Amino acid sequence: MPYDLSKPDPNVVLHLLEAFRRSKTMFSAVSLGIFDSLESQPATAATLAGELGVNCDALERLLDACVGLQLLSRQGELYHNTPTASTYLSAQSPSRMTGYIKYSDDVLWKLWANLEDAIREGTNRWEQTFGGYGPLFSSSNFFRSPEAMREFLMGMHGQGLVSSPQVVAALDLSRYHRLVDLGGATGHLAIAACLRYPDLQAVVFDQPQTVELARQVVHTSSVSDRINVIAGDFFVDELPDADLYALVRIIHDWSEAKVLTLLGRLFERLPPDGAVLIAEKLLNEEKNGPPWAQMQNLGMLLYTEGKERTLAEYKALLEHVGFSSVRGIVTPSPLDVILAVKREP
């Protein structure tokens, strides 16, 4: 039956009504190990059901749904991973996002179920959702085991492999000589920067529990001789010398007071004409888009004490502590770029 043309197109509502089902389909296929099994070799639903210990009819429905989502292909009775699934959804891939996908399923999915209460109270939902609340990014919230920590970081690494090359290419950074990536996780930004700028030296600075993985990832890169990994807390420990500090997916986690404290530390530490590079997804000045940033903004309410911002809001924060020449660049990647310079008085 055709839609009533006198009424607005309902497809926006219909799409949103089923959007969560698409996410959960991918989450479940990753959690069950479907893409890992098919990466070894294509299989029928019956063979895969026996291997995974699940109901064959139910599994076939899930496999066919993954075909519809272009995560799998089907040739006769055999299911195959698509190149997208092999690259991002298989545990064997160095570009995998599976850690963050599993974290989204196990943790974020549950937090989003309490969005209404977050709106009512204006606070994150850790205590309501999980019955306890520790410091942000502590083991009680994020890293519940060494393996969970590793897979989460590797999931973020997969995202970083997509965004970091575009972040370091958005502006000409060739005049900087020493980059320190604060909260640099696996070092994907430092690696991308050193690959693009052959005279650059870099430091990955992050919490002690993350630096061993960072060293392993950096060691496998062709620029490992120009990257050092140092453990520390960027709010309290002495910061390594740099003429360019990077904050990738960091600022949006924290309250305005903590952001100003951190930016103030960087300003004091930088030499004249040094700069800070911030990578976050920018909201439009009218805050009417883009949807990725808007959804992330709600996510920050649920998970953290921070928020997403417009370029004007970042500019106000940066200028408050003394930075100037603030520039913002929108990229096609999940992250945009803000660069601010410490000028001579």
Q: What is the CATH number of the domain that holds 186?
A: 3.40.50.150
Residue 136: predicted pLDDT:
55
Residue that finishes a domain, picked among 73, 88, 103: 88
In a shared domain, residues 61 and 184: no
Residues ≥6 apart with Cβ < 8 Å to 112: 299, 302
The residue with greater pLDDT, 236 or 159, is 236
- Let me know if residue 257 belongs to a domain: yes
Q: To the nearest whole percent, how much of the chain has pLDDT over 90?
A: 82
Least confident window among 94-108, 172-186, 195-209: 94-108
Residue 254: predicted pLDDT:
95
Which domain CATH number covers 23?
1.10.10.10
- Let me know if residue 125 belongs to a domain: no
Other C-beta atoms closer than 10 Å to the C-beta of 7 total 7
At 196, phi and psi to the nearest 5? -80, -35
In a shared domain, residues 60 and 194: no
In a shared domain, residues 305 and 163: yes
User: In the beta sheet, which residues pair with residue 200?
Assistant: none
pLDDT 10s digits, 43-93: 999 999 999 999 999 999 999 999 999 999 999 999 999 999 999 999 999
Across the range 103-107, mean pLDDT stands at 89
Residues ≥6 apart with Cβ < 8 Å to 292: 281, 334
- pLDDT surpassing 60 at residue 125: yes
Across the range 300-326, mean pLDDT stands at 96
Rg (CA), the chain: 22
Catalytic positions are 252
**Residue 160 binned pLDDT confidence (cut-offs 50, 70, 90):** confident
- Let me know if residue 28 belongs to a domain: yes
- Full-model pTM: 0.90
At 246, phi and psi to the nearest 5? -115, 140
In a shared domain, residues 72 and 154: no
In a shared domain, residues 68 and 175: no
**Domain interval for residue 278:** 146-341
- pLDDT surpassing 90 at residue 112: yes
